[in-house]
Structure 1
Amino acid sequence: MYDQSRLSELIRFARVKAGTTVIDVYPGDGDWTRLFSDIVGPEGRVYSFVPAEVAHFKNDPVGRMRTLAKEPGRENVEAVSADLVAMPEATQSADVLWLHLFYHDLHTTLIQARGATAAQFNRAVYERLKPGGSYVIVDHAAAAGAGTSDAQSLHRIEPASLREEVEAAGFVLDAQSTVLANKDDPHSIKVFDPSIKGETDRFAYRFVKP
Structure 2
Amino acid sequence: MAHAQQAAQDQPTGDLVPPTSASDFTSGQLDAVLAGSWRSEHNKARDVYRHPKATLQFFGLQPDKTVIEITPGGGWYTEILAPLLRDNGHYIAAVPGGNGAEDRQDADALRTMFKANPTEYGKASIATFNPKAPVLGPPGSADMVLTFRNVHNWTMAGNAEAMFKAFYAVLKTGGTLGVVDHRAASGANLDAIKSSGYLPTDYVIKLATDAGFKLDGQSEINANPKDTKNYPKGVWTLPPTLTLGDKDRDKYLAIGESDRMTLRFVKVGVNKAPSMPASTTSVSSPSAH
Q: TM-score when scaled to structure 1? A: 0.87
Q: Counterparts of 2:49 and 2:202 in 1: how far apart (Å)?
A: 28
Q: Structure 2 vs 1, CA of residues 58 and 200 (structure 1 numbering), >3 Å: closer, same or farther? A: same
Output the CA distance in 1 between the equivalents of 2:123 and 2:140. Answer: 13
Residue from 14, 25, 28 that aligns with 2:70: 25
Asked if structure 2 preserves the Cα contact closer than 8 Å seen for 1:143 and 1:158, the reply is: yes
Quote the Cα distance in structure 2 between the aligned partners of 1:54 and 1:151: 25
State yes or no: 1:47 paired with 2:92.
yes
**Structure 2 gap ranges (5+):** 1-45, 239-251, 269-289
- The aligned residue for residue 153 of structure 2 is 105
Partner of 2:130: 83
Instruction: Report the CA distance shift for 1:55/1:47 in structure 2 as closer, same or farther (over 3 A).
Output: farther
The answer for the alignment partner of 1:121 in structure 2 is 163
- Whichever residue aligns with residue 144 of structure 2, its letter is V
CA contact (8 A) 2:149 2:180 kept: yes
CA RMSD of aligned residues (A): 2.4
Instruction: Check the 8 A contact 2:96/2:103 in 1, yes or no.
Output: no
What SS does the aligned partner of 2:262 have?
A: strand
Equivalent of 1:177 in 201, 219, 222:
219
Q: Distance in 1 between matches of 2:187 and 2:140?
A: 37
- Number of matched residues? 203
Q: Quick check: 1:100–1:137 contact (8 Å CA) kept in 2?
A: yes
Using the TM superposition, name which of 6-15 and 190-199 deviates more: 190-199
Which shifted more, 10-19 or 85-94?
85-94
Of the candidates 251, 257, 260, which is equivalent to residue 199 of structure 1? 257
Cα offset for 1:184?
2.3
Alignment map for 1:111-190 (pairs within 5 Å): 111-112=157-158, 117-149=159-191, 150-152=193-195, 154-189=196-231, 190=234
Indicate the structure (1 or 2) with the bigger Cα radius of gyration: 2
Per-residue CA distance 1:145-166 (angstroms, 9 max, x = gap): 22432222x1110101111121
**Deviation sequence 1:72-92 (CA, Å, 0-9, x none):** 221221122221333334798
Write the letter of the residue equivalent to 1:207: F
Using the aligned pairs only, state the percent identity. Answer: 26
Are 2:68 and 2:142, in contact at CA under 8 Å, matched by a contact in 1?
yes
Distance 1:100 1:5 in 2: 10
Secondary structure of the 1:3 match is: helix
Structure 1 gaps, min length 5: none
Asked if 2 retains the 8 angstrom alpha-carbon contact of 1:16 and 1:40, the reply is no
Per the TM alignment, residue 29 of structure 1 is displaced from its structure 2 partner at its CA by 1.5
SS of 1:184's equivalent? coil
Describe the superposition over 1:110-149 as per-residue Cα deviations: whole angstroms up to 9, x where unpaired: x34xxxx222111111000111111100000112222432
Letter in 1 for 2:219: S
Instruction: Flag the 1:128–1:97 CA change in 2: closer, same or farther, 3 A.
Output: same
Change (3 A) 1:69 1:191: same
The one-letter amino acid of 1:34's match is E
Structure 1 residues 19 and 98 mapped into 2: Cα distance closer, same or farther (>3 Å)? same
